Structure 1
Amino acid sequence: MSKKTNDVILEAKGITKRFPGVLANDQVDLKLHKSEILALLGENGAGKSTLMNMLYGLYHPDEGEIWIKGEKATMTNPKDAIDCGIGMVHQHFQLVPVMTVAENVMLGSEVTKGGGRLNIREAERQVLALSQKYGLEVDPTAVVEDLPVGTQQRVEIIKALYRKAEILILDEPTAVLTPQEATELFRIMKELTAQGVSIIFITHKLKEVLAVADSVAVLRGGKMVGTADPQKSTETSLAELMVGRKVILQVEKDEADPTDVVLRVEDLHVRDDRNQITVEGVDLEVRAGEIVGIAGVQGNGQRELVEALTGLRPIESGRVVIDGHVCTHATPREITELGVAHIPEDREKHGLVMAYSIADNMVLNRYYQAPFANGPIMNQDAVDEQGAELVTAFDVRTPSIHTSARSLSG
Structure 2
Amino acid sequence: MDAANPVVELKQITKRFSGIVANDSISLKLHKGEIHALLGENGAGKSTLMNILFGLYQPDEGSIEIKGKPVNIDNPNKAIELGIGMVHQHFKLVQPFTVTENIILGMEPKQLGFHVDYKTATAKIKKLSDQYGLKVNPDSKISEISVGMQQRVEILKTLYRGADILIFDEPTAVLTPQEITELMSIMRRLVDEGKSIILITHKLKEIMHISDAVTIIRRGKVVDTLKTSETNPNTLAEKMVGRNVSFKIDKKPATPGEAILQVRDLKLKNKDGISVLNGLSLDVRAGEILGVAGVDGNGQSELIEALSGLRKVDSGSVKLKDMELTNRNPRFVSEQGVSHIPEDRHKHGLVLDFTMSENLILETYYKAPFNKGGFLNQLEIEKQAKKLIEAFDVRTPSIETKARSLSGGNQQKAIIAREIDKNPELLIAAQPTRGLDVGAIEFVQQQLISQRDQGKAVMLISFELDEIMNVADRIVVIYEGRIVGEVLPEQTNDQELGLMMSGSTAGGKRHE
Aligned 8 A contact 1:266 1:283 in 2: yes
CA-to-aligned-CA distance 1:337-379 (integer Å, 9 cap, x gap): 444344444555665666x356388359538735888999989
CA-to-aligned-CA distance 1:136-190 (integer Å, 9 cap, x gap): 1112222212222111111111121122111111111111112111111101100
Instruction: Calculate percent identity across the aligned residue pairs.
Output: 50
How far apart, CA to CA, are the structure 2 residues paired with 1:80 and 1:382?
55
Residue 64 of structure 2: SS of its match in structure 1?
strand
How far apart, CA to CA, are the structure 2 residues paired with 1:236 and 1:68?
33
State the partner residue of 1:93: 91
**In the TM superposition, what are the counterparts of 1:66-215 in structure 2 within 5 Å?**
66-114=64-112, 116-215=114-213
Aligned 8 A contact 1:270 1:280 in 2: yes
State the partner residue of 2:449: none
Worse-superposed segment, 376-385 or 312-321: 376-385
State the partner residue of 1:47: 45
Cα distance change, pair 365–11 in 1 and its aligned pair in 2 (3 A): same
Structure 1 position 222, deviation (Å): 1.1
Residue 110 of structure 2: SS of its match in structure 1?
coil
Of 229, 245, 254, which residue of structure 1 is paired with 2:252? 254
Aligned 8 A contact 2:134 2:152 in 1: yes
How far apart, CA to CA, are the structure 1 residues paired with 2:73 and 2:330?
45
Amino acid at match of 2:283: E
CA-to-aligned-CA distance 1:24-70 (integer Å, 9 cap, x gap): 11111111011110011112221111111111122221111111111
Q: Is 2:31 the partner of 1:30?
A: no
Residue 234 of structure 2: SS of its match in structure 1?
helix
Structure 1 position 306, deviation (Å): 2.2
State the partner residue of 1:362: 359
How far apart, CA to CA, are the structure 1 residues paired with 2:360 and 2:37?
37
Size of the aligned set, in residue pairs, is 407
How far apart, CA to CA, are the structure 1 residues paired with 2:119 and 2:373?
60
Structure 1 position 198, deviation (Å): 0.8
Cα distance change, pair 375–263 in 1 and its aligned pair in 2 (3 A): same
Aligned 8 A contact 2:351 2:359 in 1: no
**In the TM superposition, what are the counterparts of 1:312-391 in structure 2 within 5 Å?**
312-347=310-345, 356=353, 359=356, 362=359, 366=363, 369=366
Aligned 8 A contact 1:268 1:317 in 2: yes
State the partner residue of 2:404: 405
How far apart, CA to CA, are the structure 1 residues paired with 2:149 and 2:101?
15
How far apart, CA to CA, are the structure 1 residues paired with 2:95 and 2:382?
38
Residue 268 of structure 1: SS of its match in structure 2?
strand
Cα distance change, pair 118–46 in 1 and its aligned pair in 2 (3 A): same
Residue 116 of structure 2: SS of its match in structure 1?
coil
Cα distance change, pair 28–194 in 1 and its aligned pair in 2 (3 A): same
Aligned 8 A contact 1:22 1:399 in 2: no
Worse-superposed segment, 22-31 or 383-392: 383-392
Worse-superposed segment, 360-369 or 124-133: 360-369
Residue 93 of structure 1: SS of its match in structure 2?
coil
State the partner residue of 1:305: 303
Cα distance change, pair 38–62 in 1 and its aligned pair in 2 (3 A): same
Aligned 8 A contact 2:126 2:138 in 1: yes
How far apart, CA to CA, are the structure 2 residues paired with 1:77 and 1:383?
46
Cα distance change, pair 343–80 in 1 and its aligned pair in 2 (3 A): farther
CA-to-aligned-CA distance 1:359-407 (integer Å, 9 cap, x gap): 3883595387358889999899988876666555444455566456377
State the partner residue of 2:458: none
Worse-superposed segment, 372-381 or 126-135: 372-381
Residue 13 of structure 1: SS of its match in structure 2?
strand
Aligned 8 A contact 2:39 2:201 in 1: yes
Cα distance change, pair 360–276 in 1 and its aligned pair in 2 (3 A): farther
CA-to-aligned-CA distance 1:212-265 (integer Å, 9 cap, x gap): 001111111111010112212211121122122333333311222333432110
Aligned 8 A contact 2:359 2:403 in 1: no
- TM-score between both structures, scaled by the size of structure 1: 0.87
Amino acid at match of 1:405: R
Of 219, 222, 225, which residue of structure 1 is paired with 2:220? 222
How far apart, CA to CA, are the structure 2 residues paired with 1:297 and 1:5?
40
Aligned 8 A contact 1:257 1:289 in 2: yes
Structure 1 position 4, deviation (Å): 6.5
Structure 1 position 320, deviation (Å): 0.7
RMSD between superposed Cα atoms in Å: 3.0
How far apart, CA to CA, are the structure 2 residues paired with 1:87 and 1:182?
20
CA-to-aligned-CA distance 1:93-115 (integer Å, 9 cap, x gap): 11222222222222222233335
How far apart, CA to CA, are the structure 1 residues paired with 2:5 and 2:81?
20
Give 5+ residue unaligned stretches, structure 2.
409-434, 436-512
Structure 1 position 9, deviation (Å): 0.5
Aligned 8 A contact 1:358 1:387 in 2: no
Amino acid at match of 2:242: G
